A and B are shown apart, each in its own frame.
Chain A
Amino acid sequence: MQNLVYIYDGSFEGLLTIVFDVYIENVFPQVIVSEEKYIPNILDTTKIIETNFEKSKRIFNGIVKNISYDALYHSYYAFLSNDENKEINIVQYLVYGFHAGPKINTMLSVNFVANVHYMRKKMLHEAHRLKGLLRFQEVNKNLFYASIHPDNNVIETVGHHFIRRLPTQNFIIHDKNRNILFLYNTKDYCIVPAENFNIPQITDEEKKYQKLWKSFFETIAIKERKNSKLQMQFMPKKYWQDLVEKNV
């Protein structure tokens, strides 16, 4: 049998459009994939789903009305994760959710519900980690720059955290894995692709504080208790490239 593959534009609205179509037509695809990730295969029957804002809006409101707010959060956060099968799991979760209602979130022994919950957890876990591990560098008077290399698409969650925390500070967060920027100018924020973006130079003042932080970091560890394995368990090496205390 041929694989039925739905191709969408990679946006959350696009995914909700698929949910709409699947719910109406009652035909489940085997695979859902975004255009940029799709590798053509002769055995696939492909169908390109155009994002339809009318349909996605109806689904969006329908989730809140017929399932629950939680379900909306679960599906959105799962969508931001980097799981390969996230789309098909979210579509199954939502379509089934429209039948089951709010109690869908108690059905943790159903595969796709467990998967969606797990993807959400994974994404939020990394976001929480980066709330701590992100390092701002002063590149201009009251302009701060931070680069991150996350697995999941956490930039929005992390950005909002820093807007609440440092509202008087202009900052740029640069997701280098996706090459997108989170820009904030003490009033508004936006997320834009980082095209022709030059990484700015740090100030002399900044160098002073990086040195202070580094010496604090080295002093605070108790030598008699050295445990690199434990350190690496909490702070995996993939994050070290952006850490002031591990570089400079």
Chain B
Amino acid sequence: MEIVDKLKILADSAKYDASCSSSGSNRGNTKGGIGNGDVSGICHSWGADGRCISLLKILMSNCCVYDCKYCINRCTNTVPRATFTPREIADLTIQFYKRNYIEGLFLSSAVIKNPDYTMEKLYETILILRKEYKFNGYIHVKTIPGCSQELIDKLGTLVDRTSINIELPSEASLKLLAPEKEKAGILSPMNYIAKNISISKQEKSIHKPKFVPAGQTTQLMVGATPETDLKIMKLSESLYTKLKLKRVYYSAYVSINEDSLLPALKEPPLLRENRLYQADWLLRFYNFTMDELLDETHPNFNPLLDPKCDWALRHLEQFPVEINRADYHTLLRVPGIGVTSAKRIITARRAFNLKFDDLKKLRVVLKRARYFITCNGKYFDQIQHFSETFISENLLFLERLSSENQNSFEQISLFTNFNKDLNNPHSLLPTKEDKVKALTGSL
């Protein structure tokens, strides 16, 4: 088989893995070596689906012995199968890297024969890259659940990041859709890696190789099983706090296999995935906890508003926030103000008192924030009273306008759009079908 055919088959099998980042490692170059890590990560291209291409994302092999219902490579599927040799992968990585196509390698594999055999092969590849080619670029390797700890130890000192995909957020779903996998089989290597990372972090010697310096990640599938947003996010929260994971990726389920146990979605639930990512950022950078964002009475995110706006509207007693006084964490909770803006405000107000015009100079976006802040005790422009309905109607009005601008380039005319009365924002709200379709992926 030609190498280009193998590449097509094995990249095709790897594409459902959402993980793409190349950040978190500042591995330096060695003498006579090639490559280095960039701590913020570098994206090298963007595919037709708008997702970034940073790493050469391929499987070593897609000849799997497992039969997970949701997976394209399940052993009962008839798809073209291929296997790379370790040498082929190493050569391809180096040649792509030299041309600056990629930031490194993201190597995963279907389970060939058994987990240990697969991990041995992965290890062999990485060893060629790191030792023979002196490659110091980014390497992300999947840990195969059920492999021996010895292999994890050996691989951990060579790679930058490792991950095990949980995919199904509950044990019941796991039993149903991935009968060969077990909860313990997935979580125990994650625990083991987390423990080793924390030991390695305390190590003072700079000569000892760091164990998985860019940390571990995982992926959860959204929309294949009936779990609520609350349940999914609770799981991520505990993964962040207990296992110190760097990232949890959410992947909108794409119907690729037909199975009576799986829902047949026409479109992947992309809006829901988006909301989960927004909430994920709130957990990691904005000091929110899941209990604040969702509860048993609201187990799913609002499809109309982003989670932060939604939270703010339910907690109007904490607003408005005074820009010149509020501390960093309070500023972060204002919808529309992010980490960069909050830091800029804190810096700038040390020199001068800030007015709304100054905020514009700092390039703080006021589209949402204006309803939640005051400068020197004054509200923005004409806004005088704050009520939930007033704010939410205005926000939704803006959203509706912008989404209409995006989707249609109709000429505005006096004689059409009778039903869109500008004085009545209600008529401009997204219709129920609009958003529910995006949420469920039109079941």
Binding site for B on A (CB under 8 A): 103, 105-111, 114, 118, 128, 131-138, 144, 146, 162, 164-169, 209, 211-213, 215-231, 233-235, 243-245
B45 within 8 A of A: yes
The listed residue (B3, B103, B351) touching A106 by CB distance below 8 A is: B351
Q: Are B53 and A217 in contact (CB under 8 A)?
A: yes
CA distance A107 to B254 in the complex (A): 49
At the interface with chain A, which of B7-15, B118-126, B170-178, B206-214?
Answer: B7-15
The listed residue (A108, A132, A133, A217) touching B347 by CB distance below 8 A is: A108
Q: Are B50 and A234 in contact (CB under 8 A)?
A: yes
The listed residue (A105, A138, A211) touching B99 by CB distance below 8 A is: A138
Q: Which 7 A-B residue pairs are closest in the complex by CB-CB distance?
A: A230-B50, A221-B47, A109-B358, A108-B348, A221-B48, A227-B50, A225-B49
Contacts of A218 in B (CB 8 A): 48
At the interface with chain A, which of B32-40, B300-308, B309-317, B414-422?
Answer: B32-40
Interface bracket on B: 35 or more
Binding site for A on B (CB under 8 A): 3-4, 7-8, 11-12, 14-16, 29, 32-36, 38, 40, 42-54, 56-57, 92, 95-96, 98-101, 103, 252, 254, 267-268, 270, 344, 347-348, 350-352, 354, 358, 361-363, 406
Q: Are A114 and B99 in contact (CB under 8 A)?
A: no
Q: Are B98 and A244 in contact (CB under 8 A)?
A: no
What would 19 more interface pairs be, CB under 8 Å, given A165-B36, A213-B101? A103-B350, A106-B347, A106-B348, A135-B99, A135-B101, A138-B98, A169-B98, A213-B96, A215-B7, A215-B8, A216-B56, A220-B11, A221-B48, A222-B51, A223-B49, A226-B48, A231-B46, A233-B50, A243-B45
Contacts of A233 in B (CB 8 A): 50
Q: Are B34 and A220 in contact (CB under 8 A)?
A: no
CA distance A221 to B15 in the complex (A): 7
Tell me the smallest distance from the CB of B266 to a CB of chain A, in Å.
9
Residue in A138, A217, A225 with the greatest tally of chain B CB atoms within 10 Å: A225
CA distance A209 to B91 in the complex (A): 11
Closest chain B residue, CB of each to CB of A131: B42
Tell me the smallest distance from the CB of B40 to a CB of chain A, in Å.
8
Contacts of A225 in B (CB 8 A): 49-51, 252, 254, 268, 270
Tell me the smallest distance from the CB of B54 to a CB of chain A, in Å.
8
Knowing A213-B99, A213-B101 touch, does A220 contact B53 (C-beta < 8 A)?
Answer: yes
Tell me the smallest distance from the CB of B127 to a CB of chain A, in Å.
21
The listed residue (B33, B40, B362) touching A109 by CB distance below 8 A is: B362
CA distance A103 to B95 in the complex (A): 47
Contacts of A106 in B (CB 8 A): 347-348, 350-351
CA distance A137 to B99 in the complex (A): 6
Q: Are A221 and B49 in contact (CB under 8 A)?
A: yes
Q: Give 20 A-B contacts (CB < 8 Å), ordered by A residue.
A: A106-B348, A106-B351, A107-B348, A108-B348, A108-B351, A109-B351, A118-B363, A132-B43, A135-B100, A137-B99, A167-B29, A169-B98, A211-B4, A215-B7, A216-B7, A216-B8, A218-B48, A219-B15, A229-B50, A230-B49
Q: Are A222 and B49 in contact (CB under 8 A)?
A: yes
Q: Are A209 and B95 in contact (CB under 8 A)?
A: yes
Q: Are B11 and A136 in contact (CB under 8 A)?
A: no
Knowing A224-B254, A231-B46, A234-B50 touch, does A215 contact B4 (C-beta < 8 A)?
Answer: yes
